[in-house]
Amino acid sequence: MPTLTIVSPFYNEAAPAAQFCSMLERLETEVKRRYSLLVDKVLIDDGSTDGSAETFASMLSGRWKILRLSRNFGKEYALLAGIDHAKGDLVLLLDADLQHSLEVCMTLIGEILADPEMDVVYAVRSDRRETGWRRAGMARLFYRLINLGQRYKVPENAGDFRVMRRRAVDAFAQLRDRRRFNKGLFAWIGFRQKAIEYRPAERAAGNTKWSRRGLFALSVEGITSFSAVPLRLVSGAGLVVALAGMLYGVKIVLEVLFHGIDVPGFPSLFVAVTILGGFNLALLGLVGEYVWVALSESKDRPIYVVRDILEPGRTGRSAL
Ligand code: UDP
Ligand code: MG
């Protein structure tokens, strides 16, 4: 029988744990009944401090393991840890906060099984249209920028919620980027991918781990690890400013020579200096961002550290 591995990262999700585990149980029964798939579960404790891991361990049934990371690494990293340990023919990535419903999971699995040629089926949020225009505009700009001149496209509003076949999972696990922008990595691997729309449920318990600042940082990370467009834009703008400066210089020389007009003093100088100075600083910051990416990649640290693994029969403190 082919196996489906469910990979779920969690960070301080003790509150929805009971509901989530019972959802997993229902999912397992359904999947076995409808598609005769075996199910195993890999949960990743991303450095929780609220005893989530023990709670999950006491409630899970069937085949499961919980990887406990040595600290909080972030969802991207926790997911990779889970994917590295997922053995199934199909792998379903699922949040532990109940925003990804049983029904949508069944749809994803149904869709991928219906078409043997399909390698990935991912879920796209349909509720983003209702977010404010400013947010939506920013998001559109972000995707426009990151997709500019790429051979692969990062789809809008697709998250990690998806089911993948073994070959796509293996390809993804080969990408050992240290700064992980999953949306980009999922697009980069290629394969035949298909989107289905869904509306995420409200969070049943606990809080989102994303702040506005976190989102902004993620966007910067996405752009700097997938696109050189900002650098090129700035070089282009620099060229334009330099050209304009030169033209202005020629104009001044001609005026002095032919009309005897004195060079009008400080304002022009001040404007030129501030514009160029600001421009220089901004460019320096941008280059710094890219240097920081290169630095993180070159340090060759492990991407995540597993503290220990909980399994049925090994669910808590060691004997010592
Ligand atoms: N998560 C994680 N590590 C983190 C932050 C979040 O493993 O540092 C998990 C979290 O417990 C949840 C999933 O990633 O299962 C999605 O997180 P969240 O609900 O905060 O994100 P959102 O749904 O708001 O995008
Ligand atoms: Mg969530």
Q: What is the CATH number of the domain that holds 16?
A: 3.90.550.10
280-314 pLDDT, tens per residue?
Answer: 888 888 888 889 889 988 988 999 999 999 999 87
pLDDT score for 185? 96
Q: Are the CB atoms for 83 and 182 separated by under 8 Å? A: no
pLDDT score for 304? 97
Nearest CA to ligand 1 atom 3: 75
Pocket probe mutation, ligand 1, options 11, 12, 127, 128, max atoms within 8 Å of Cβ = 11
Report whether pLDDT(49) > 60.
yes
- Count of domains in the chain? 2
Residue 316's pLDDT band (boundaries 50, 70, 90)? low
Give the phi and the psi of residue 90 in degrees, each rounded to 5: -120, 145
Helix axes 229-254, 266-298, angle to 10 degrees: 160
Residue 269 shares a structural domain with residue 307: no
Determine the average pLDDT of the residues in 170-188: 95
> From the CA of 286, how far away is ligand 2's center (Å)?
31
Pocket probe mutation, ligand 1, options 44, 46, 95, 128, max atoms within 8 Å of Cβ = 95
Residue 33 shares a structural domain with residue 153: yes
Atom of ligand 1 nearest to the CA of 200: 23
Residue 241 shares a structural domain with residue 100: no
Q: Which ligand is nearest to the CA of 182?
A: 1
Report whether pLDDT(264) > 70.
no
Determine the average pLDDT of the residues in 12-40: 95
For the chain, list the strands marked E by DSSP.
3-10, 38-45, 63-69, 90-93, 120-125, 158-165, 193-198, 306-310
Q: Is 217 among the domain residues? A: no
Residue 168 shares a structural domain with residue 255: no
Helix axes 133-147, 212-226, angle to 10 degrees: 20
> From the CA of 253, how far away is ligand 2's center (Å)?
63
Using the 8-state DSSP alphabet, how is residue 127 labeled? G
Q: Is 68 among the domain residues? A: yes
- Give the whole-angstrom CA distance, residue 94 versus residue 87: 16
Atom of ligand 1 nearest to the CA of 78: 7
- Give the whole-angstrom CA distance, residue 139 versus residue 132: 11
Q: Is 222 among the domain residues? A: no
> From the CA of 212, how far away is ligand 2's center (Å)?
14
Residue 129 shares a structural domain with residue 193: yes
Pocket probe mutation, ligand 1, options 97, 100, 160, max atoms within 8 Å of Cβ = 97
> From the CA of 141, how far away is ligand 2's center (Å)?
23
Q: Is 15 among the domain residues? A: yes
Q: Are the CB atoms for 5 and 88 separated by under 8 Å? A: yes
Using the 8-state DSSP alphabet, how is residue 311 labeled? B
Vertex 56, ends 30 and 125: CA angle to 5°?
A: 60
Residue 36 shares a structural domain with residue 152: yes
Residue 286 identity (one-letter amino acid): L
Residue 52 shares a structural domain with residue 185: yes
> From the CA of 211, how far away is ligand 2's center (Å)?
12
Ligand 1 shell residues, CB under 6 Å:
9-11, 13, 46, 72, 74-75, 78, 95-97, 99, 208-210
Residue 70 shares a structural domain with residue 168: yes
Q: Is 110 helix (H, G, I), strand (E, B) or coil?
A: helix
Nearest CA to ligand 1 atom 9: 10
Helices and strands (H, E) in the chain, number of each type: 10, 8
Q: Is 244 among the domain residues? A: yes
Q: How far is CA 102 from CA 17, 96, 291, in A?
A: 15, 12, 43
Residue 310 shares a structural domain with residue 233: no
Nearest CA to ligand 1 atom 8: 74
106-132 pLDDT, tens per residue?
Answer: 999 999 999 999 999 999 988 766 677
Length of the chain: 320
Q: Are the CB atoms for 179 and 103 separated by under 8 Å? A: no
Nearest CA to ligand 1 atom 22: 208
Which range of residues forms the domain containing residue 89?
3-211+303-318
Q: Is 250 among the domain residues? A: yes
Atom of ligand 1 nearest to the CA of 74: 8
Residue 134 shares a structural domain with residue 274: no
Residue 139 shares a structural domain with residue 27: yes
Q: Is 140 among the domain residues? A: yes
> From the CA of 47, how far away is ligand 2's center (Å)?
17
Q: Is 258 among the domain residues? A: yes
Considering just the CA atoms, what is the radius of gyration of the chain in Å? 26
pTM: 0.86
58-85 pLDDT, tens per residue?
Answer: 999 999 999 999 999 999 999 999 999 9
CA nearest neighbour of 102 among 92, 114, 112 = 92
Residue 88 shares a structural domain with residue 173: yes
- Give the whole-angstrom CA distance, residue 114 versus residue 35: 10
Report whether pLDDT(317) > 70.
no
pLDDT score for 62? 93
CA dihedral (228, 234, 237, 238) positive or negative: negative
